[in-house]
Amino acid sequence: ATPTSIMVGTGRAAESGILFKGGEHIEQAYKIQSVVFDKTGTITNGKPVVTDFNGDDETLLLLASAEKGSEHPLAEAITQHAEEKQLDLLSTTDFEAIPGRGITAKIDNKHIIVGNRQLMKEYKVDSRKEEEHLLELENEGKTAMLIAIDGKIRGTVAVADTIKENAKEAINQLKDMNIQVVMLTGDNERTAKAIGRLAGIDHIIAEVLPEEKAENIKALQKDGTAVAMVGDGINDAPALAVADIGIAIGTGTEIAIEAADITILGGDLLLVSKAIKISQATIKNIK
């Protein structure tokens, strides 16, 4: 590629809201055969709201108080819900976030655990009675969480996120370019599949722990496939770095933007296929 054609391509991209970190990335993006999307904050708007709560008033108060210590979008949805109900939250001790699973905290000597099935299993809390209700919520595309107090399930809470308006169109454009589309998420399989259905993605890799996201990208690259990763979160940063092209959502975290090769402004997913097309045009001009 000549320096001039790279400069023209980079400039054209920037005008559309696609920021290439360096000329070498515009020379590589045309090769992409597979695009992997994170779910929360990438395919979805990342602003989930509480849709269902099952439990008594004390459980809701303890739940929201415990989640106050977490910066996870799920936690923000729960504390927002408590704020709307004008609850006076209690202070916690021994708060701990368990990435990809949930949180634990102590309030007035009560031990609170909030999170998914795996977390309950790890704390030996029996959640079998809630299973049917959880499945129902998850099939609706909601993220369902269990609440345990002193080792016993006391309630469930479900949170739902909305899918980005142009997600389906953006994914269709990639498919039209013969690019494989994958969704990679820490959320459970049923919720992920329901969101995938809405977005038009059928290749779903779910229940992936934050530290496993990069491993999954490497597995997709094994047969020589050139893989792009699109993500917004701290937990996406290693995967963005490992991918042939890392694409950060401009509305996402600073850490994701730093790890990526491209940033798309405003989180507009249509810019993913556009970035690849601009790279293809840049390469064609010079060959």
Binding stretches for ligand ADP (CB under 6 A): 39-40, 67, 70, 72, 74-75, 100-103, 114-116, 143, 145, 185-187, 210, 233, 235
Alpha helices in the chain (DSSP H): 3-16, 23-26, 57-67, 73-84, 117-122, 131-139, 167-176, 189-199, 213-221, 237-242, 254-259, 270-286
List the single partner that 193 binds among Mg ion, ligand ADP, none, CB under 5 to 8 Å by kind: none
Q: Which residue has the tokens 């792009």?
A: 228
**In the range 18-37, which residues lie near Mg ion by CB under 5 A?**
none
Task: Give, for 44, the enclosing helix (H) or strand (E).
Answer: none
Q: What is the distance between the alpha carbons of residues 178 and 244, in angstroms, rounded to a whole number?
A: 17
40 binds Mg ion (CB under 5 A): yes
- Choosing from 41, 100, 102, 196, the residue that interacts with Mg ion (CB under 5 A) is 41
Task: Give, for 146, the enclosing helix (H) or strand (E).
Answer: strand 143-149
Q: In what order do the strands lie in the sheet with 203-205?
A: 18-20, 262-264, 245-249, 227-231, 34-38, 180-184, 203-205
Nearer to ligand ADP, 117 or 274 (CB): 117
List the single partner that 74 binds among Mg ion, ligand ADP, none, CB under 5 to 8 Å by kind: ligand ADP
One-letter amino acid of 255: I
**In the range 194-253, which residues lie near Mg ion by CB under 5 A?**
232-233
38 binds Mg ion (CB under 5 A): yes
Nearer to Mg ion, 10 or 42 (CB): 42
List the single partner that 268 binds among ligand ADP, Mg ion, none, CB under 5 to 8 Å by kind: none
* Shortest CB 15 distance to ligand ADP, Å: 31
* Shortest CB 107 distance to Mg ion, Å: 28
Cβ proximity of 187 and 39 under 8 Å: yes
List the single partner that 210 binds among ligand ADP, Mg ion, none, CB under 5 to 8 Å by kind: ligand ADP
Q: What is the distance between the alpha carbons of residues 261 and 247, in angstroms, rounded to a whole number?
A: 6
143 binds Mg ion (CB under 5 A): no
Concerning whether 38 is annotated as a catalytic residue, the answer is yes
* Shortest CB 284 distance to Mg ion, Å: 34
The helix/strand/coil state of 46 is: coil
List the single partner that 148 binds among Mg ion, ligand ADP, none, CB under 5 to 8 Å by kind: none
Cβ proximity of 230 and 18 under 8 Å: no
List the single partner that 263 binds among Mg ion, ligand ADP, none, CB under 5 to 8 Å by kind: none
Q: In what order do the strands lie in the sheet with 152-160?
A: 49-54, 152-160, 143-149, 110-115, 102-107, 93-98
Nearer to ligand ADP, 158 or 170 (CB): 158
Nearer to ligand ADP, 75 or 283 (CB): 75
* Shortest CB 232 distance to ligand ADP, Å: 9
Q: Which residue ranges make up the site for Mg ion (CB under 5 A)?
A: 38, 40-41, 232-233
Active site residues: 38
